[in-house]
Amino acid sequence: MDPNVCYTVYVHHVAVRSVPVRVAMHVSRSLLATVLFATVTAAASLSFAGSVCGTVRDATTLAPVPQAAIFLFDNASQYTGLYAGTDVAGHYCVNNVPDGTYTLQVKVNNYITANIPNVVVKTTTGVDVDIHPRFALAQPWPNPASSSVTFRLSAQPDADVHLDVFDVAGRRVYGWRGRVSVAGERTIEWNLRDFNGNDLKSGIYFVRLNSADGTLVRRFVRLR
């Protein structure tokens, strides 16, 4: 009885259990090959190229802008979930960006939102952004001015603004009324002639910008 019992157990172990083991090994190898193929295919179709890095600056003063939020959108204008923030030096890096073309968006309080389209990522890509304050008047340029002077301003998109120039006696010698662009920017070039078409005298002049956001004043010198 004992040998028969042992033989029965041996047959059950070899004849019944050995075949499933071989089949299981065959299935495991096929599954492993499938997983490896899928992994390689996925890696080839979704290549993480690196980063988008750069600096965000104030377009008026060229000073770095900290605490700005940077977002990446795909070609369908869908948010990718990739983002970064600027440090105290205005520097940022968006990491783990797949190959492709994106729109980079920069947002920060008291500045006009900036959108930079067609950012192509294949390797680490550098994108520096100058953003415009919601209300600003750059220093007149050139200063001193001899034949003409340029005023560069920022305000709320499509805002109504007034720009006036006064001499040291408070007399208004130039005026401009209008709206800024939808991007919130406007550049005005003046030939340094007053309302009567006369050349301005040499001296100090004051530029005043008014809008719903407030009033700003800058100074420049006219040299003849």
Question: What pLDDT, in 10s, does the model give residues 141-195?
Answer: 999 999 999 999 888 877 889 999 999 999 999 999 998 877 678 899 999 999 9
Q: Which residues pair with 91 in a beta bridge?
A: 55
Q: Looking at residue 102, what is its pLDDT? A: 96
41 and 52, same domain (yes or no): no
Q: Is 19 helix (H, G, I), strand (E, B) or coil?
A: helix
Q: CATH number of the domain that 140 lies in?
A: 2.60.40.2550
User: Into how many domains does the chain fold?
Assistant: 3
Q: Which token pair is 224?
A: 């003849």
- The Cα–Cα gap between 95 and 72 comes to 11
194 and 178, same domain (yes or no): yes
Q: Model confidence at 29, in pLDDT bands (50, 70, 90)?
A: low
- The Cα–Cα gap between 212 and 208 comes to 14
Q: Is 158 left (phi over 0), alpha (psi -120 to 50) or beta?
A: left
CB burial readout 111-134, b (16+ within 10 A) else e: bbebebeebebeeebebebebbbb
Query: Which H or E run contains 116?
Result: strand 114-121
Ranges 31-35, 60-64, 135-139, 169-173: which has the least confidence: 31-35
Domain residues for 86?
48-131
145 and 126, same domain (yes or no): no
Q: Which residues pair with 161 in a beta bridge?
A: 178
Q: Looking at residue 123, what is its pLDDT? A: 86
140 and 218, same domain (yes or no): yes
Mean pLDDT of the chain: 82
Q: Which amino acid is at 215?
A: T
Q: CATH number of the domain that 119 lies in?
A: 2.60.40.1120
- The Cα–Cα gap between 38 and 57 comes to 44
pLDDT by residue (tens digit) across 68-100?
999 999 989 999 999 999 999 999 999 999 999
Q: Which token pair is 95?
A: 């990491």
Q: Residue 15: pLDDT above 70?
A: no
pTM of structure: 0.58
- The Cα–Cα gap between 58 and 68 comes to 11
